[in-house]
Chains A and B, each alone.
Chain A
Amino acid sequence: MKPEKAQLVIQGLKEAGVDFAAGVPDAQFIEVYKILAEDRDIHYVGTANEAEAVGVGFGAWFGGKKPALILATSGLLVATYHLARINLLHEVPVLVVIPYRGDIGDPRWMGLYKKTTEPGLNAMDIPYRVVSRPEDIVRTIKDCNESARAWLKPVAVLLNEEALW
């Protein structure tokens, strides 16, 4: 991932008003996590797994924060039960930002994530947008966060390889 693309993700989060983030670092998004960990405007909590990150973000929302979960595509599978729970039972908004592996631009072996990511989000009734162009990163993050808060439910942004490289 090019550093300027990581900066676009951070810019999107900041312009969206996100002030709290949680997640588990992955190779694709490592530059984003490193910037978040040092950022003074966004409190980043590094968790041991992605389900824990869901709980942390969920709790932070009740304290008035605007939380984002920064999850790997594999991590979305780990987070699934708790994400479904806060979406379908509690109805609480969190922005979910995912570097989308297995889509156009990725090797064949990552096809696992193409088969699980969008069907998983659909099964959980979590709306999402797939971003393929770098120029759409900032606006889509802002739009999705706005809708999450208006709808009181998680909304996901999937940034694929075309957008990130």
Chain B
Amino acid sequence: MVTRFTLLKELSAIVPDDVLVLTSIGNNSGFWGQLKDREANLFHLTMGMCSSTALGLSLALPKRKIVALDSDGNLTLNLGVLGTIANEAPKNLTIVVMDNGNYLGSHKHEPGMPTATAGKMNLEAVAKGCGIASASTIEEVAAFREKIQAALSNAGPHFIRARIEALDRDGPKKTKRVPDPRENKYQFAGYIQKTEGVEILGSGLGGG
């Protein structure tokens, strides 16, 4: 099996600059912030909130490619979102689930507690059962690269379950500050205002 960092490093090398990337809390946010310091990132999406936020954004900006970097524990907290994604069917949305079968393993030197996916639950089958036809599982970096490139060049929604090691033993050194949620909001919304020509933040004085 592959590690989270290996896959994120690969993604950071191939993802086009204008693709909006949304990351779940924990090491998806922490590692991505070290690997890809850019305005097109929305970090710190809490338990159950990563794929739903990506869905809303993908519907609001149907011509913009959106990648959600979700995780197994985060997604299973709000699993019904996969049915909503299938029914809304945004062509521009790719959900990547870093599935380590583990709660809190990303922060510890030993595994925490198992998620349902460490047992009998198969998230690819769940996504397909929810109606997301383009759902797959990868376990190594070449297949990941291939699935990401295909997802970014073909109509979605896409669902990529990445089976990764339980522990993040090879994470990057923390050399950059990942912006806090409020600061990140202004960066991300400002970037979208600039590149999409939409008004988001308003004047701050009302009416915007």
Interface residues of A, Cβ cutoff 8 Å to B: 20, 22, 43, 45-49, 51-65, 67, 81-82, 85, 89-92, 146-147, 149-150, 152
B52 and A149 within 8 A (CB): no
Chain B residues near A89 (CB, 8 Å)?
Answer: 44, 180-182
- Complex CA–CA separation, A48 to B85 (angstroms): 11
Known A-B contacts A51-B48, A146-B207; A62 and B81 likewise in contact (beta carbons under 8 Å): no
A55 to B45, CA, bound (A): 9
Q: Is B154 on the interface with A (CB-CB < 8 A)?
A: no
Which B residues are within 8 Å of any A CB, using their own CB?
Answer: 22, 42, 44-46, 48-61, 64, 78, 80-81, 83-84, 87-88, 180-182, 184-185, 188-189, 192-193, 196, 198-202, 204-208
Q: A65-B56, A89-B180 are in contact. List 12 more A-B contacts (CB 8 A).
A: A45-B55, A47-B84, A52-B84, A55-B53, A55-B81, A56-B53, A58-B49, A64-B192, A64-B196, A65-B60, A149-B206, A149-B208
State which of B49, B53, B84, B192 has its C-beta within 8 Å of the C-beta of A46: B84
B93 to chain A, nearest CB (A): 10
Complex Cα gap A42–B137 (Å): 36
Chain B residues with CB under 8 A of A85: 46, 49
| A146 CB to nearest chain B CB (Å) | 6
Report Cα–Cα, A47/B78, bound state, in Å: 10
Write the nearest CB–CB distance from B189 to chain A, whole angstroms. Answer: 6
Q: Which of chain B's residues have a CB closer than 8 A to the CB of A60?
A: 56-57, 59-60
Query: What's the Cα separation between A152 and B185 when bound, in Å?
Result: 11
Interchain CB contact under 8 A, A63 and B204 = no
Q: Is the CB of A90 within 8 A of B185?
A: yes
What residue of chain B has the Cβ atom nearest to residue A43's Cβ? B59
Instruction: Give 21 CB contacts A-B under 8 Å.
Output: A45-B55, A52-B80, A52-B84, A56-B55, A56-B56, A56-B84, A58-B53, A59-B60, A60-B59, A60-B60, A62-B53, A62-B56, A62-B189, A64-B61, A64-B200, A65-B56, A65-B60, A82-B46, A90-B184, A91-B181, A149-B202
